[in-house]
Structure 1
Amino acid sequence: MLSRMNAVCRRSFSQLCRGPSVTAEVSKGRGIHLSCRRRTVMPAWVIGKYGGNEVLRFSDNVLFPIIHYPNEVIIKVHAASVNPIDVNMRSGYGAKSLNMSRDPLHIKTAGSEFPLILGRDVSGTVMECGLNVKYFKPGDQVWAAVPPWKQGTFAEFVVASVNEVSLKPKSLSHTEAASLPYVTLTAWAALVNSCGLSKEKCPGKRVLIIGSSGGVGTAAVQLLKAWGAHVTAVCSGNAFNLMKDLGADDIIDYTVESLQEQLKTRDQFDTILDNIGGSSEELALQYLKPWSGATFVTLVTPFLYNNDQLGIADGMMRTGVTLASKVMKHYYKGIHYRWGFFTPSGPSLDVIGELVDAGKIRPTIEHVFPLSDVPQAFQKLEAGHARGKSVIQVVDPKK
């Protein structure tokens, strides 16, 4: 039996391993672990420490990813994209929490989480599949959002679990598809998982989106409009046309007059999605419909920050106290208060992909960078006021 699996593994990885032989080791519950006797490497952008843009380093000697579990696939990356989480992770944000979930074998071997590959979005081609993978096969065109505790997508190849992967929408190129998974899944987590919205519940609902012109905001506007909600978008004036083009029913330019004064002239909302944080939370008490099941959800939470500053135990305690106090405070005013967190989900991407192919959701891309210009893409994102996504093109679509 082992010799048969060895033969299969050698045949499957012959084009990927830069060495004359491949060995397979079977570990109960972990599928097949494949390793090349000669080191197998690939190009990628990595960081060897936390800091500013100067810590980004291109290397063509990064270890090739390996399937460790039977439900994993190796994806050849055609395109990726840059998200605020990448900039934050480069600076060390969330490191203490994320290291608890990272591959212990990698940390034990390297002595730390470094070298760390950033990048969460991927659109590409399945190259290899674990033994338990049934839904995908080599050659499938897929997209996914890889969670932040795993090695990322600013590389030639990446490993992902099948529950994180979905077939790429046929109507999109890889460059277009790479702009959507992380932001649409973040919007999905906030609106569906936290607020309980759905295709059936959205018609007739009034939803306010604070910070609507960024990646998550543009995804949320389109998802809600696809499901029939009335959407009010808050943005600066130079994003007005973008919001109108995406289907927002009402647009508030916060640079013209205070947001509070402008909201006084609107009807109350069933849901508020806050992408900005800070004083925005006070809007929940004033402009949501009390005692009607109305929900305020924010994507700006102190969870990772508390753990970074106080350590895991004290940080979790501080976070729990903060969340409980806010939930109770708003509950006594007839408002549901929620935090939203990105959640990787291939099944959710299946639904989002159907909406994409139906023309209900489309990518909003501001700039496309080659793989060589990853630092420039980070600089652009850090400059702020993005009007869509910055995509990293790993494979030239003309070739």
Structure 2
Amino acid sequence: MEVLKTCIRRRNACTEACFWRRRVVQTPSHRKIRTTSARSSVMPAWVIDKYGKNDVLRFTQNMMLPVIHYPNEVIIKVHAASVNPIDVNMRSGYGAAALNMKRDPLHIRIKGEEFPLTLGRDVSGVVMECGLDVKYFKPGDEVWAAVPPWKQGTLSEFVVVSGNEVSHKPKSLTHTQAASLPYVALTAWSAINKVGGLNSKNCTGKRIEIRIMYMTTIMKAWGAHVTAVCSQDAGELVRKLGADDIIDYKSGSVEEQLKSFKPFDFILDNVGGSTETWALNFLKKWSGATYVTLVTPFLLNMDRLGIADGMLQTGVTVGTKALKHFWQGVHYRWAFFMASGPYLDDIAELVDEGKIRPVIERTFPFSEVPEAFLKVERGHARGKTVINVI
């Protein structure tokens, strides 16, 4: 392990020095620009060469440095990343059919050409290079982002992302703290704000049941009455984040405990399973109340049935459920992660105002990525698992 750590430190120094070598070219308008030099330089990264259990994770010092292919892209030197449940699921092959379709919509590549695949969605780091159309960032800017799952991930020294997926890092956070937020915050933001329609102007007095602790503070800041579902040992933390009521899912049936509460205006479900069969009964009927779930069969259907049949089955499922619950007086919605720099701008502002706070359970050095995956895979997290890359 010490040898691996030494190799990582040496490679960090070498690749950064090589990365900054530039050549000047003349455009037709004789405007000087900086581009990457022709290079065959490599960087350290954690990759997989096939889907499977944790032993498929492989450290390499020979992953090619990312290159800007489109004028709206930026290259970020990764200071910190994190491991999310989606990374563990992708390691095992979850969503491969849909993600490969997104990577290769024309089906030009042969099966398996997504490998070696770098996992990791969250990144906090420093801009190293910008495409010609990037106006809002420059080399040296501290930024954060959540990389879409069909792109190469962030468990590497450098990562390339679209400029519209990047935002300036909150000034109040370190890179380690910032890397804990983008993916989960954007997922929750999509569910609450973009799909659920909640914002600072319409939340006052609304009763909300939620299971994502990161959004408790923002819901309270918007004036909502928040009921949080968590385990008893996480209760103190959730109360500090502002929850009004806490339901301990380990002390008995959540359904039975909710019967003593007044109906809700909004429920956000990130558990799925049998929850969906009873949760909507606790919404206010015929008042615009909304149930949003983050647990959908979208990717699973395409893995199981293929792209065409999977999309058809998914459409039938969501349409049927939405119509059924509409006639029962409530709105039923699905929500998904959305990579968005502008949304992260809004979230960064709330972070700097103290309305959203990072919650980190444990950090790992870059040399211990497999251990971080095992920790996330065991579940029952009380916060994020962060990787300090440098």
How does the TM-score come out when normalised to structure 2? 0.90
Structure 2 residue matching 1:391: 3-state secondary structure? strand
Q: Does 1:193 align with 2:199?
A: no
* 1:40 alignment partner in structure 2: 41
Structure 2 residue matching 1:147: 3-state secondary structure? coil
* 2:119 alignment partner in structure 1: 118
Residues 52-108 of structure 1 show CA distances to partners (whole Å, capped at 9, x for unaligned) of 100000000000000011111000000000101100100010011011122679984
TM-aligned CA deviation for residue 220 of structure 1: 2.1
Contact 2:44–2:156 (CA under 8 A) maintained in structure 1: yes
Distance (Å, rounded) in 1 between the aligned partners of 2:16 and 2:316: 54
**Which amino acid in 1 is paired with 2:349?**
E
TM-aligned CA deviation for residue 193 of structure 1: 1.3
Q: Does 1:289 align with 2:290?
A: no
Contact 2:255–2:279 (CA under 8 A) maintained in structure 1: no
Distance (Å, rounded) in 2 between the aligned partners of 1:232 and 1:348: 25
* 1:369 alignment partner in structure 2: 364
Worse-superposed segment, 184-193 or 257-266? 257-266
Contact 2:207–2:225 (CA under 8 A) maintained in structure 1: yes
* 1:254 alignment partner in structure 2: 249
* Equivalent in 326, 330, 337 of residue 342 of structure 1: 337
* Equivalent in 376, 379, 384 of residue 389 of structure 1: 384
Contact 1:231–1:248 (CA under 8 A) maintained in structure 2: yes
Distance (Å, rounded) in 2 between the aligned partners of 1:355 and 1:333: 36
Residues 4-51 of structure 1 show CA distances to partners (whole Å, capped at 9, x for unaligned) of xxxxxxxxx9954498x869899xxxxx99675441110000000000
After TM superposition, the structure 1 = structure 2 runs for residues 326-337 of structure 1, keeping only pairs within 5 Å, are 326-337=321-332
Percent identity of equivalent pairs: 65
Distance (Å, rounded) in 2 between the aligned partners of 1:33 and 1:104: 31
Worse-superposed segment, 328-337 or 222-231? 222-231
Contact 2:23–2:34 (CA under 8 A) maintained in structure 1: no
TM-aligned CA deviation for residue 273 of structure 1: 0.4
TM-aligned CA deviation for residue 391 of structure 1: 0.2
Structure 2 residue matching 1:100: 3-state secondary structure? helix
Structure 1 residue matching 2:274: 3-state secondary structure? helix
Q: Does 1:236 align with 2:231?
A: yes
* 1:8 alignment partner in structure 2: none
* 2:130 alignment partner in structure 1: 129
Contact 1:33–1:66 (CA under 8 A) maintained in structure 2: no
Distance (Å, rounded) in 1 between the aligned partners of 2:34 and 2:118: 21
Residues 233-287 of structure 1 show CA distances to partners (whole Å, capped at 9, x for unaligned) of 0111111111111111100012222112211111000000001001111234310
How does the TM-score come out when normalised to structure 1? 0.88
Distance (Å, rounded) in 2 between the aligned partners of 1:205 and 1:246: 18
Q: Does 1:218 align with 2:219?
A: no
Structure 2 residue matching 1:152: 3-state secondary structure? coil
Distance (Å, rounded) in 1 between the aligned partners of 2:43 and 2:105: 22
Structure 1 residue matching 2:173: 3-state secondary structure? coil
Distance (Å, rounded) in 1 between the aligned partners of 2:107 and 2:213: 36
* Equivalent in 300, 315, 318 of residue 320 of structure 1: 315
Across the two proteins, how many residue pairs are aligned to each other?
Answer: 371
* 2:354 alignment partner in structure 1: 359
Contact 1:81–1:392 (CA under 8 A) maintained in structure 2: yes
Q: Does 1:152 align with 2:147?
A: no
* 1:4 alignment partner in structure 2: none
Distance (Å, rounded) in 2 between the aligned partners of 1:72 and 1:103: 19
Structure 2 residue matching 1:327: 3-state secondary structure? helix
Distance (Å, rounded) in 2 between the aligned partners of 1:243 and 1:152: 30
Q: Does 1:97 align with 2:123?
A: no
**Which amino acid in 1 is paired with 2:98?**
S
TM-aligned CA deviation for residue 162 of structure 1: 1.0
Distance (Å, rounded) in 1 between the aligned partners of 2:159 and 2:106: 17
* 1:10 alignment partner in structure 2: none
**Which amino acid in 2 is paired with 1:127?**
M
Contact 1:107–1:113 (CA under 8 A) maintained in structure 2: no
User: CA 1:137 to 1:334, structure 2 compared with 1: closer, same or farther past 3 Å?
Assistant: same
* 2:301 alignment partner in structure 1: 306
Gaps of 5+ in 2: 1-14, 28-32
Q: Does 1:60 align with 2:55?
A: no
Structure 1 residue matching 2:102: 3-state secondary structure? coil
User: CA 1:17 to 1:178, structure 2 compared with 1: closer, same or farther past 3 Å?
Assistant: closer
**Which amino acid in 2 is paired with 1:98?**
L
Distance (Å, rounded) in 2 between the aligned partners of 1:184 and 1:86: 16
* 2:141 alignment partner in structure 1: 140
Worse-superposed segment, 98-107 or 191-200? 98-107
Structure 2 residue matching 1:96: 3-state secondary structure? helix
Q: Does 1:84 align with 2:80?
A: no
TM-aligned CA deviation for residue 223 of structure 1: 2.5
Worse-superposed segment, 294-303 or 277-286? 277-286
TM-aligned CA deviation for residue 202 of structure 1: 1.1
**Which amino acid in 1 is paired with 2:235?**
F
Gaps of 5+ in 1: 1-12, 27-31
Structure 1 residue matching 2:88: 3-state secondary structure? helix
User: CA 1:306 to 1:294, structure 2 compared with 1: closer, same or farther past 3 Å?
Assistant: same
**Which amino acid in 2 is paired with 1:319?**
T
